[in-house]
Structure 1
Amino acid sequence: MIDLHTHTVFSDGELIPAELVRRAEVIGYKALCMTDHADESNIYFIVENVLRFVKKHGHFYDINIMAGVELTHIAPPLIAEMVGKARDAGAQVVVMHGETPVEPVAPGTNLAAIEAGVDVLAHPGLITDEETALAAEKGVALEITTRGGHSYTNGHVAAMARKHGAKLVVNNDAHAPRDLVGATLRRTIALGAGMTVEEYRRTEANAWEIVQKCMR
Structure 2
Amino acid sequence: MAHKTIQKNIYDFHTHTFFSDGENSPVELARFAAASGYKCIGITDHASYSNIDELIESVSKDCKLISKYWDIMAIPGIEITNVPAESIDEMAKYAKEKGARLVIAHGESIVEKVEKGTNLNAVSSKYIDILAHPGFLTPKEAAIAAKNDIYIELTKRAGHCLTNGIVAKIGRDADVKFLVNSDAHNADNLFYENWQEKIALAAGLTKEQVDNILTINSKNFLKKLGY
Same structural fold, with TM-score higher than 0.5 when normalized by the shorter chain:
yes
- Give the whole-Å Cα distance in 2 for the aligned partners of 1:87 and 1:189: 30
Secondary structure at the aligned position of 1:158 is classed as: helix
Corresponding residue pairs, total:
216
Contact 1:66 1:214 in 2 (8 A): no
Calculate the aligned-residue CA RMSD, in Å: 1.1
Distance 1:23 1:181 in 2: 11
Q: Which residue of 121, 140, 147 maps to 1:112?
A: 121
1:102 matched to 2:111: yes
Structure 2, unaligned stretches of length 5 or more? 1-9
Structure 1 length normalisation: TM-score?
A: 0.97
Residues 132 and 160 of structure 1 are in contact (CA less than 8 Å); yes or no, is this contact kept in structure 2?
Answer: yes
The one of 51, 66, 75 equivalent to 2:75 is 66
Matching residue of 2:24: 15
Aligned partners of 1:70 and 1:95 also within 8 Å: yes
The structure that is helix-richer by fraction is: 1
Q: For 1:161 and 1:33, locate their aligned partners in 2 and report how far apart those are by CA, in whole Å.
A: 22
* Equivalent residue number for residue 122 of structure 1: 132
Partner residue, 1:179 = 189
Q: Which residue of 2 aligns with 1:3?
A: 12
2:147 alignment partner in structure 1: 137
Which consecutive residues of structure 1, in runs of 5 or more, have no partner in the other structure? none
| Cα displacement (A) at 1:201 | 1.4
Separation of aligned partners in 1, 2:190 and 2:174 = 30
TM-score, normalisation: structure 2: 0.92
Alpha-carbon distance change, 215 to 115 in structure 1, aligned in 2, over 3 angstroms = closer
Residue in 1 that maps onto 2:218: 207
Map 1:80-99 onto structure 2 (within 5 A).
80-99=89-108
- Does residue 154 (structure 1) correspond to residue 164 (structure 2)? The answer is yes
Identity of aligned residues (%): 41
The equivalent residue for 2:4 is none
TM-aligned CA deviation for residue 207 of structure 1: 2.1
SS in 2 for 1:30: strand
Q: Would you say 1:28 and 2:37 are equivalent positions?
A: yes
Q: Partners of 1:11 and 1:156 in 2: how far apart? A: 29
